[in-house]
Amino acid sequence: MAEHDLTEEDYLNVADWAGYEGYSNAERLAIEYTEKFALDHVAIDQELMDRLVEIYGEDLLMDMTISIGCWIAFGRLNEVFGAEVSCPVRL
């Protein structure tokens, strides 16, 4: 987390992305896009895409979209197959 300047509080407030003051406008926009992509992709309209391109540019937006799609697919595959996912901690 520290490598990316994220705090535990940042992670704990993802569900409250619109109200949490710890996120920048760009971070809020990325979370909004990710949430819509995952839960209601037909709600992604041109206005949202225009805001995303303005902040991130077309190339980075494409990279974000591919990454989001891959993580959603990975999560759904794990759910379908009942796979337990854990991250080993190395001390």
Task: Give 3-state DSSP helix, strand, coil % of the chain, rounded to 5.
Answer: 70, 0, 30
Q: What was the pLDDT predicted at 1?
A: 43
Q: For position 82, what pLDDT does the model report?
A: 84
Task: Give the chain's residues under pLDDT 50.
Answer: 1-2, 91
Residue 2 is predicted with a pLDDT of: 46
CA angle 91, 83, 8 (to 5 degrees): 45
Confidence at residue 83, expressed as pLDDT on a 0 to 100 scale: 82
Residue 86: predicted pLDDT = 64
Domain range annotation of the chain: 2-81
pLDDT digits (tens, 9 = 90+) for 58-81: 999 999 999 999 999 999 998 888
